[in-house]
Structure 1
Amino acid sequence: MFETRRIRTRVLLQVLLTVLVVPFVFPLVAMVQGSLKGAGWANYGTVLSLPLLPGFFRNSAIIAAAVIAIVLVCTMTAAFGFSKLHIRGKEFFFWLLLACLTLPGVVLLAPLFATVTRVGAYNSIWAVILPVAALQIPFTTLLARNFVDGIPNELLEAARVDGANTVRTFWYVLVPLTRPIMAAILVLVFINSWNEFLLALLFLQTPDHQTITLVPQYFVGQYNNDQTKVLAAAVLTALPVVIAYIALQRYFERGLAAGALK
């Protein structure tokens, strides 16, 4: 076991962490440097002057907010049911849910496209919201259930003794105690939903419904391939995610650590 009080150990840990971080930081630095080549900051001005940009931001924000709401409601109710309620065959359904984690998203594109076109949701933001939310729920349910397992059953039994039904027990007892893991899930789902590209590219065809992740395609075409504008658009797309993570970093780490310990 490492003794972090020693200077030598701290130096070794610092070197190890630096080596692990460099592969992730290098592409970000290269992206920012590439976005400033040629016209420099004027590249960002060109991207910001795109008339459709505010609509792209709005659509991405709507999709992210809707996905977060759906995932939080489904995840917390599912975690409560799998962990604290007596439901016949719940372990079978839980492992069936976890089996969905083994399916890559690309495999689901064909059936998703067929389903979306059949129900008439093609070229609407719901064609992105519902699949993205569904793909998030198995993993977030796993995180939330591990956290809920650590909540003493005596608290829930005391609420029932006081006359609270299942809904009131969930809302007034479980939800306040699970705020750390809910914060972690919120950050995780926001990052994934804001950065969604493949489903948005497949299902959103008109600019009125497209998201911010599709902005770079407006600077790439048959006779135009301005990589500096593409990189500038990528930087602007990533800024909300970076800001949100920095602002909620401590809640995200606290929630994941609490879920792991529990």
Structure 2
Amino acid sequence: MFEARTRLTRVILQVVVTVLVLPFLFPLAAMLQGSLAGEGWGNYAKVLAVPGFGLFFRNSAIMALATIVIVYIVALLAAYGFSKLHIRGREIYFWLLLACLTLPEVVLLTPLFVTATNLGLYNTYWAVVLPLAALQIPFAVLLARNFLNGIPNELFEAARVDGANAFRAFWYIVIPLSRPIAAAIVIFTLLASWNDYLLPLVFLQDPDVQAITLIPQFFVGEFSNDQTKVLASAVITALPEVLAYLLLQRYFERGLAAGAIK
């Protein structure tokens, strides 16, 4: 692994990293500045006063949590099978799964709509949760499999000698050692599910189940386009993601690095 050993090298690296980060900070600064234009903090008060704001926030939290649980369970189980179990044709199945990464969400919209309508899932959380989970699982499996490849096979062989079956090995070895990659999966899945706009817009027409990403629609209409409120709603919507990253930052960075290079 590359390591900066001298003060000059560390200074150069710090300058380079700072320059690379600046282009990402400018949009955030512009968003914060724009959200305080006009009425200042009153823009946030107007957003929080939107009828059903708390309900929309709760709906998004429920859908994000359900999506994270599904992706976490399925991705770890699948990665365990692809990495440590002797399954005939597992590489073929793995590459077929990765092929799903090439499918954009908008292409699947029509078949998903027909399926949700026929199964009676329209205007329910599951109409959004299940497609979101399915779209996130391939990438999560890719990360988790690379991470599990770094766990020595001797641990599983020792567990097998002690009489542990495949499930017990998964429970007592994979889950405790996979916390870093689990944090990465949680963060990526949270970003995808919390920020998703298209699926809630199409599948959730009932106001009782709509998501928080639809809040900006209250300030954009035929005769109004209050961008200050839109930016304020964007800042409020981003807060849970920022908080989750700060809480899981240590595990996230370790898991992402391990899942990418092992």
Pick the TM interval, shorter chain: over 0.9
Unaligned segments of structure 1, at least 5 residues: none
Number of aligned pairs?
Answer: 262
Give the superposition deviation at 1:244: 1.2
Give the superposition deviation at 1:51: 2.6
Which residue does the alignment assign to 2:100? 100
State yes or no: 1:222 paired with 2:222.
yes
Aligned ranges 1:223-262 → 2 under 5 Å: 223-262=223-262
Distance 1:11 1:155, change over 3 A: closer
2:197–2:214 Cα contact (<8 Å) kept: yes
Give the superposition deviation at 1:7: 4.5
Amino acid at match of 1:84: K
Distance 1:54 1:202 in 2: 21
Which residue does the alignment assign to 2:141? 141
Amino acid at match of 1:181: I
Which residue does the alignment assign to 2:155? 155
TM-score, reference length from structure 1: 0.95
State yes or no: 1:193 paired with 2:202.
no
Give the superposition deviation at 1:60: 0.7
1:2–1:9 Cα contact (<8 Å) kept: no
Amino acid at match of 1:160: R
Aligned ranges 1:1-262 → 2 under 5 Å: 4-262=4-262
Amino acid at match of 2:238: A
Q: Superposition RMSD on alpha carbons, in Å?
A: 1.6
Give the superposition deviation at 1:45: 0.7
Q: Which runs of 4+ in 1 moved over 6 A?
A: none
Give the superposition deviation at 1:84: 1.1
Give the superposition deviation at 1:260: 3.0
Distance 1:257 1:24 in 2: 21
Distance 1:3 1:168 in 2: 38
Amino acid at match of 1:125: Y
Q: Deviations over 1:87-140 (max 9, x none)?
A: 111110000001111122222112212221221211111111000000000001
Distance 1:41 1:140, change over 3 A: same
Unaligned segments of structure 2, at least 5 residues: none
Classify the secondary structure of the residue corresponding to 1:124: coil
